[in-house]
Amino acid sequence: MKTIDIQKIHTDADTYFTQKNLAREHEIALSRKVIQLSGSAVRFIHRKEFAEAQQRILQARNLLEQIQTTTKEHPDLYFSGTIQDAQKEYAEAAVSLAIIQQQNLPGPADLQVEWAPYINGLGEAIGELRRHLLYEMIHDNMDVCEYLLQTMDDIYGALAALIFPDALTNNLRRTVDSARGIIEKTRGDFTSAFMNKKLQTHIDHMTRLFENSDSRTSPVKDMPENG
């Protein structure tokens, strides 16, 4: 009869879970830092401090690379919600910066993130594009606004066409539904601002015409009194 070494099972299990728990705590701490850096990058983007934003995005990328190394022996940790959220926030910041600077859009391979967090980050970037569009609208940069709105439409169309189970896409449908509402509201704001600008341009034009016409009219001299 073979003997069962329960003590060895206990020792091996304790060693395994101790190492895994250390890896888990490490990746949680790093993931939180990635999320913080990504949020900071977005704030710098909206202040048009692009170099500062890029620096924080690179810092976040380095931390994600550390996470990949830490969880290499524990792939189930790598695909946990915490790391996926960190990748999503990082992707959102990176694609927002690229779009606002009118650069080529980086893909998941460029950013070294998984597809599910990438497409959700891309979808959530629509909210950041709206925020930047409103800023440009205030400063009368209608061409930039039109570019941003068109890009938002393009992103929405691409994501809405991905019909797959939520378990695979990390609830992409919820992101797409939110993006649709943001785009509809933004289009309304842009249309109103565009029409107001056209109206103001027309008023200014008519005012100049009136002023020029008035300046060319000779002043009427006082008529001499009879007698």
- Domains of the chain, first to last: 23-210 (1.20.58.2140)
pLDDT of residue 227: 45
Regarding pTM above 0.95, the answer is no
pLDDT in tens, 86-102: 999 999 999 999 999 99
Distance of alpha carbon 87 from alpha carbon 57, whole angstroms: 11
Nearest to 100 by CA among 69, 120, 79, 130: 130
Give Cα 181 distance to the centre of its chain: 15
- Average pLDDT on 158-182 reads 96
Distance of alpha carbon 122 from alpha carbon 129, whole angstroms: 11
Distance of alpha carbon 28 from alpha carbon 33, whole angstroms: 9
Q: Is the pLDDT of residue 215 over 80?
A: no
Distance of alpha carbon 130 from alpha carbon 28, whole angstroms: 31
pLDDT of residue 76: 87
